[in-house]
Structure 1
Amino acid sequence: MAESDKKFAGSIPKFYDTLMVPLIFQGYADDLAELVAASSPRSVLETAAGSGVVTRALAPRLGPDARYVVTDLNQPMLDYAAARQGSDGRIEWRWADALDLPFEDASFDVVCCQFGAMFFPDRVAGYAEARRVLRPGGRFVFSVWDRIEENAFADDVTNAVAALFPDDPPKFLARTPHGYHDVAQIRDDLKRAGFLDIEIETREKVSRAPSAREVATAYCQGTPLRNEIEARDARLLELATDRATAAIASRCGEGPVAGKIQAHVIVAAG
């Protein structure tokens, strides 16, 4: 993973939350919130919370006395999430590294993480930390994207932007968000971290947007793909967005667009 893959700063958090969240994240956030809330946990830790889409979906489902600690490694994203959430005395916002959690052993009933594990430099270590802070019988609930070929818009954008930079194509989307999709590998990593009971379900959904342009803007300007484009030539950001728009429109047509998205949803315990 390149260092720029972890940089969600500047205008990226706003673009990410206003465009990417409704495009691909909201449906899976609702799924994750339902899974977490099913056991009526009294204490929940969320890692890699991003702009807070899971937080907004889960908080209303938790009891009035629940403790909910929301963390992220990227302070600008955490600040954005906290401001967007508003006042809720049950929620504690903390900067934290998922690989080195600042919490005591057996502190939480559930640890959850939506689309963050792909960014862990050492996933076994990250999973072991989740297990360490879980109480006996606790659950680790998280999700990761399936391979990029199963996610139409991400694939379209990657191919379009690659054609603009043929000698050094930006590979953020394929390399990181969609780079950790092997179910056997995920299961093995969890077992190495000490989890014994592992359930993995692959869930397909449909991503929709009012236009191809909105999708292209979301990916090219609301993710670290923007960092890769600007590192090559900042003047070409709009052209890259134009090329991605054209690629999506050529497949989906003018007007509202739709594309397949697919992810793995995992519940681990033991």
Structure 2
Amino acid sequence: MLEADKVFSGSIPENYDRYMVPLIFEPFATDLARRAGALSPSAVLEVAAGTGVVTRALAPKLPPGASYVVTDLNQPMLDYAASRQAPDGRIQWRQADALALPFENAAFDLVCCQFGAMFFPNRLSAYREAKRVLEPGGHFLFNVWDRIEENVFADDVTNALARIFPDDPPRFLARTPHGYHDKALIRSELEDAGFSQVVIETRAEQSRASSPRVPAVAYCQGTVLRTEIEARDPGKLDAATDYAASAIADRHGSGEVAAKIQAHIVMAVV
């Protein structure tokens, strides 16, 4: 992962929440919130919360006396998440680095994270931090995307942009969001960090959009892929988005479109 892959700023948070969340994140947020709620946690830490799609799904499932600390490395993403959340005295918003969590040992009984582990510069350090802040018997629940070939619109956009920029194709999606899909590696790193009872489930969902342009805008303008496109040609963002939309239309039709998305859901115990 490149350092720039972690920078979600400018208009990216708004476009991310407007386009990416309904396109690919909501089905897995609902799933993660269901699994988290079933554990009946009393002290929850969410890491890499992004624009708060899991927070919005999980908060209603927690008991009145629960505490819920929501964190992200990127303050603009966290600010946007807080702006979307209904007032809730149980929730505390805090900028935090997953590799150096500003919390005491054994402070939580659940740490959860939706599609954030792929962005950790040192996953083993992040996993050790998650274990440190969990009480004995506590759960670490997170998900990661499967390889890009199992996530069709992301693959379509990546291949389209490679045709526009053949000498230096933007590879953010394949490199980072879809770059941590080896289940044996995930299990090994969690066990090395001290977790036990590691269970990994692969789950497929459908990504749906009203038109081919929606996933094109979502990926090209609602992720760090935007930064990569503009770095290659500052004036080509709209043309690149249009080309990606055309590529999706060629493959999936010009009306409503749907395609497979797939992720791994991981549960580990302290």
TM-score range, shorter chain: over 0.9
Does 2:123 match 1:123?
yes
Does 2:7 match 1:37?
no
State the SS of the aligned residue for 2:49. coil
Q: In structure 2, how many angstroms separate the alpha carbons of the residues matched to 1:229 and 1:4?
A: 13
State the SS of the aligned residue for 2:167. coil
Aligned residues, how many?
Answer: 270
Does 2:12 match 1:9?
no
Q: Which residue of 2 aligns with 1:228?
A: 228
Q: In structure 2, how many angstroms separate the alpha carbons of the residues matched to 1:100 and 1:35?
A: 26
State the SS of the aligned residue for 1:203. strand
Q: Which residue of 1 aligns with 2:267?
A: 267
**How much does 1:254 deviate?**
1.2
**How much does 1:86 deviate?**
2.9
Letter in 2 for 1:59: A
Q: Which residue of 1 aligns with 2:215?
A: 215
Q: Which residue of 2 aligns with 1:202?
A: 202
Does 2:61 match 1:61?
yes
Q: In structure 2, how many angstroms separate the alpha carbons of the residues matched to 1:230 and 1:100?
A: 32
Give the alignment of 1:175-194 within 5 angstroms: 175-194=175-194
Q: Which runs of 5+ in 2 are unaligned?
A: none
State the SS of the aligned residue for 2:234. helix
Letter in 1 for 2:13: P
The CA deviation string for residues 112-143 of structure 1, in whole angstroms up to 9 with x for no partner, is 00000000011011011001100111000000
Q: In structure 2, how many angstroms separate the alpha carbons of the residues matched to 1:47 and 1:175?
A: 21
TM-score by length of 1: 0.99
The CA deviation string for residues 68-118 of structure 1, in whole angstroms up to 9 with x for no partner, is 000000000000000110311000000000010000000001000000000
The CA deviation string for residues 16-68 of structure 1, in whole angstroms up to 9 with x for no partner, is 00110000000000110011111211100000000000000000000011000
State the SS of the aligned residue for 2:101. coil
Letter in 1 for 2:260: K
Q: Which residue of 2 aligns with 1:27?
A: 27
Q: In structure 1, how many angstroms separate the alpha carbons of the residues matched to 2:4 and 2:123?
A: 19
Q: Which residue of 1 aligns with 2:237?
A: 237
- Provide runs of 4+ in structure 1 moved above 2 Å: none
